[in-house]
Amino acid sequence: MKTLRIALIGTGFMGRAHSHAWQTAPRFFDLPHNVEMAVMVGRDPQRTAAEAARLGWAEASTDWREIIQRDDIDVIDICTPGDTHAEIALAALAAGKHVLCEKPLANTVEDAERIAAAAAAVPDQVALCGFSYRRTPALALARRLIEEGRIGRVRHVRAQYLQDWLSDEDAPFTWRLDRELAGSGALGDIGAHSIDTAQWLTGSQIVGVSAALRTFVETRPERDGVVGLGGTAALDAPRRRVTVDDAGAFTARFADDAMGVFEFSRVATGRRNANRIEINGDRGAVAFDFERMNELEYYDASDEGHRQGFQRVQTTEAEHPYMKAWWPVGHGLGYEHTFTHEIVDFVGAIAGAPTGPDFSEALHVQRVLDAVEESARSDSRFSAVKGITS
């Protein structure tokens, strides 16, 4: 069996989540290739060495350019902020590597177009964007039910992605609040997940939006310690200007005529990671909330009247997507498993079983993000998504 040697770039939250996934995927699933965790790359030599050793990487490096040129590396896994994605992905594709790139694909449509074009030119190399929630068993089941026609023709898509780690106005400034590094705020960070999930579940592209974006907290204190997504800051710390949105909302038109309502916020008090979506068709509906990630609600309008209602399906049966590899029924999964499944599908794609989202799908998400920003700038005027292909 062939062995894939992996280099992962980034030592933050996503670097750790992907490291965990590279560890678990080959241990719980029968992968078509062996994987070897070769190098972790970061900026700070001490931190990178410590994280690499702790998370199971054979080597640590601070020079991604040199690592990409190495003949003994097959895969580049990009877990850095969005402003670096284009440069790294283009170099990795040019060097003949398979690429897994965290979401959103880039910070601008122009960069996303360049990355997608470079990937399209090398079809033998796998290029996957890390919209990890697609790999939640309950959402994968929802997709299966929709593909089987069980909810009929989709009319409504209602998606919310709500977090509250920025609700305190003294929560510190992080790179996710800097437009130069992150591209946008809640929109690209979490709204992008909802856009990807909605298009993937319905099999239909968003063709236009009408949007509003808000920044409730204009300045935040410099951070002096990292905890979770945010961290700590002294009350008298100098404050930095926030250059991205805290929250936003948009209505969407889908190519197949469904209507969508999207809302995303990182200041939604009390909602920790409520990534929710409900889709209503003319024969039924599905509803999901990541805060109850092992459940899917399913409504079948053809049930007899006296027992109609949403069923709560616990998605822990061996026949549910990805579940055969895991625990006995009723023993649920967590956030980290979505990344494990992403690695399983990515390695499967390298062995010839295609998966998505490829970079052209991720480019479409980027174009929707762009249309949302354009509409928000023009007082919510309808904005058509550019470059629609179908």
Q: Using CB under 6 A as the criterion, which residues of the chain lie in contact with ligand SOE when the complex forms?
A: 13, 163, 189-190, 229
The residues with which 279 forms a beta bridge, in sequence order, are 157, 286
Closest listed residue to residue 288, CA positions, set 358, 194, 362: 194
Which is nearer to ligand SOE, 24 or 275 (by Cβ)?
275
In the complex, least distance from residue 368 CB atom to ligand SOE, rounded to whole angstroms: 16
286-to-104, 242, 299, 343 alpha-carbon distances in Å? 26, 37, 6, 26
> How many beta carbons lie within 10 A of that of residue 219, not counting itself?
12
Q: What angle do CA 219, 221, 227 make, to 5 degrees?
A: 125
Whole-number Å distance between alpha carbons of 321 and 303: 24
Cβ nearer to ligand SOE, comparing 113 with 189: 189
254 vs 264, which CB is nearer to ligand SOE? Answer: 264
Report the alpha-carbon distance of residue 83 to residue 108 in Å, rounded: 9
Nearer to ligand SOE, 166 or 371 (CB): 166
Rg (CA), the chain: 21
Full DSSP string of 125-151: S-EEEE-GGGG-HHHHHHHHHHHTTTT
- Helix residue ranges per DSSP H, the chain: 13-28, 45-55, 64-68, 85-94, 109-120, 137-147, 179-182, 186, 192-202, 335-350, 359-377
CB of 186 to ligand SOE, least distance (A): 8
Residue nearer to ligand SOE on the CB measure, 13 or 382: 13
Quote the least distance from Cβ 334 to ligand SOE, whole Å.
12
Instruction: Name the residue whose CB lies closest to ligand SOE.
Output: 189
CA distance 308 to 300: 7
Q: Please count the other Cβ atoms lying within 10 Å of the Cβ belonging to residue 14.
A: 20
For the bound state, the minimum distance from the C-beta of residue 229 to ligand SOE, rounded and expressed in Å, comes to: 5
Provide, rounded to whole angstroms, the least separation between the CB of residue 230 and ligand SOE. 10
Smallest distance from ligand SOE to CB 384, Å = 27
Q: How far is the CB of 367 from ligand SOE (least distance, A)?
A: 19
Q: Which of 183, 281 has the CB closer to ligand SOE?
A: 183
Nearer to ligand SOE, 163 or 383 (CB): 163
